[in-house]
Amino acid sequence: MAALAVVLTASLPSYGQTNDFSTWLDGVKRDARTAGISQATIDSALTGLEPIARVVELDRKQPEFTQTFWSYLDKSVTTGRIERARRLLAENRPLLDRVHARYGVQPRFLVAFWGLESNFGEHTGGYSVIQALATLAFDARRAAFFRAQLMDALKIIDEGNIAAADMRGSWAGAMGQLQFIPTTFVSYAVDFDGDGRRDIWRNLPDVFASAANFLGRVGWRGDETWGREVRLPADFDWDVASLKIRKPLAEWQRLGIRRADGADLPTADISGAIIVPMGHNGPAFLVYRNFDAILTWNRSILYAVAVGHLADRIAGLGPLSAKRPTGERPLKRVEVEEIQTLLATLGFNPGDADGIAGSQTRVALKAFQRQANLVADGYPSVKALEGLRRVAAEKAKAN
Ligand code: CA
């Protein structure tokens, strides 16, 4: 669907000679021996290894359009996936209950992660993880990060969890039914069935327990949900819509926040933050501490909402009630770059003009919107871009 913003060549620009790769690989082997990896593992995993051109290509690839909230949600939480998740939860109920009892993570969330990460074990990635990680560790762009992943991948093999030839995953080294990267595997994967191997590729007890162990260790609360869709009052102060601003539910209730159907918020003594991932024309959510745990798993707000929403749908709750905006199109990456460039020109601080609307860009956009008397939701939309162009043109004329 997404065309490439930049035409890519199939060659490996920063590689030089094949010889360089094998010299580099000798260094990896030396490091592995120093780290205590056995010679047998080093031989089985690294002998005759070649870089994969396609992996570098995928690492360089940038989508032309930014992802919108609705397109992402429609793709991730489909009717088919919800039905399948319910069926798989029922089939695996005894196991999921045991994992729940041990780690305190509700089954519907474990199944939601499983569904989003690998479509319930169906799409785990067909790349050799060692080969993909060696390619990316040799490439200059993120060499240190991927070298650490490669070393941990060797450790995982050396521990006897999986044979080098069976260690398959995504082009970026995300492995098995949960798509754990090796450093995450080393810290969080669990041998729940007690066969001596941590197997997130084929063993469901290990798959669910590893996910639950990760979530438990990053602060999951088994007695809370992830959050909920809410309705905002007409006089809502957009400045308080921020993951950084947490208030007790009673305080949000006082400020006019209600459940999506208009009912009062729960009276539970917990706090949460309001987020508007699509700006003032999209849905609003009140998110609790478990939302942060989901963000530790994957930093994407859209991913985190999709996990929570899928878990809700598995439990029988309905679709979101926010209306979809008509005529709103996704921004192109170059348009987000233009927003960033214009913000910088006007004296705001949006960070690098990288075409990705991260939190720094959104905070800067909010500041601009406030100054220009626009709805200050920090959401990079076509309207926001037009507003910036207008103000920048006026300023240029004045000078
Ligand atoms: Ca096991």
- Ligand 1 is an ion; its neighbours by CB within 5 Å are 191, 193, 195, 197, 199, 206
| pLDDT score of 326 more than 90 | no
Which of helix, strand or coil describes residue 286? strand
How crowded is the C-beta side of 365, counted as CA atoms within 13 Å?
30
Ligand 1 centre and the CA of 249: distance in Å?
41
CA dihedral 228, 317, 292, 90 (to 10 degrees): 160
CA of 132 to the centre of ligand 1 (A): 25
C-alpha 321 – ligand 1 centre gap (Å): 42
Amino acid 387: pLDDT: 95
195 Cα: distance to centroid of ligand 1 (angstroms)? 5
The mean predicted confidence, pLDDT, of the chain is 93
For residue 5, pLDDT over 80 is answered with no
Q: Output the CA torsion sign for 86, 1, 10, 24.
A: negative
Query: Is the pLDDT confidence value at 48 over 70?
Result: yes
Cα of 213 from ligand 1 centre, angstroms = 14
pLDDT in tens, 357-366: 888 999 999 9
CA of 205 to the centre of ligand 1 (A): 7
318 pLDDT above the threshold of 80 = yes
Candidates 139, 137, 166, 140; CA nearest to 150 is 137
How many angstroms does the Cα of residue 201 sit away from the middle of ligand 1?
Answer: 10
Q: How far is CA 338 from CA 58, 277, 344, 356, 389, in A?
A: 24, 20, 10, 11, 9
Tens of pLDDT, residues 119-177: 999 999 999 999 999 999 999 999 999 999 999 999 999 999 999 999 999 999 999 99
Compute the distance from residue 202 Cα to the ligand 1 centre, in Å.
9
CA distance 151 to 137: 10
CA 377 to ligand 1 center in whole angstroms:
47
> Which DSSP category does 106 fall into?
-
CA of 99 to the centre of ligand 1 (A): 14
What's the mean pLDDT in 9-27? 66
Evaluate whether 12 touches 118 at the Cβ level (below 8 Å). no
**CA 121 – ligand 1 centroid, Å:** 16
> Could you tell me the distance, in angstroms and rounded to a whole number, from the CA of residue 206 to the centre of ligand 1?
6
Q: What's the 100 CA to ligand 1 centre distance in angstroms?
A: 17
For the cut 60, the answer to whether the pLDDT of residue 43 exceeds it is yes
CB 240, CB 273: distance < 8 Å: no
CA of 199 to the centre of ligand 1 (A): 5
* Residue 348 DSSP class: -
| Cα 209 to ligand 1 centre (Å) | 10
Span 90-96, average pLDDT: 98
Is domain 1-51+125-170 classified as CATH 1.10.10?
A: no
Separation of 48 CA from ligand 1 center, angstroms? 30
Question: Running DSSP on this structure, what letter comes out for residue 180?
Answer: B
168 CA to middle of ligand 1, Å?
17
Distance 123 CA to ligand 1 centre (A): 20
The answer to whether 21 and 143 are in contact (CB under 8 A) is: no
Instruction: Specify the pTM.
Output: 0.90
Phi, psi of 215 (to 5 degrees): -65, -40
Give the integer Cα–Cα distance in Å for 65 and 150: 31
Cα of 212 from ligand 1 centre, angstroms: 15
Please give the distance, rounded to the nearest whole angstrom, from the Cα atom of residue 45 to the centre of ligand 1: 21
Q: What CATH class has 333-398?
A: mainly alpha
> How do the domains of the chain map onto residue ranges?
1-51+125-170, 333-398
pLDDT interval class at 19 (50, 70, 90):
low
Q: How far is the CA of 98 from the centre of ligand 1 (A)?
A: 15
What are 274's strand-pairing partners?
286
pLDDT of residue 93: 98
Please, what's the b/e burial string for 217-242 (b: 16 or more CB within 10 A of its CB; e: otherwise)? eeebbeeebbbbbbbbeeebebeebb
- CA 315 to centroid of ligand 1, rounded, Å: 29
Q: What is the percentage of the chain residues whose pLDDT exceeds 70?
A: 95
Can you tell me whether residue 230 is helix, strand or coil? strand
**What's the CA-to-centroid distance between 189 and ligand 1, angstroms?**
10
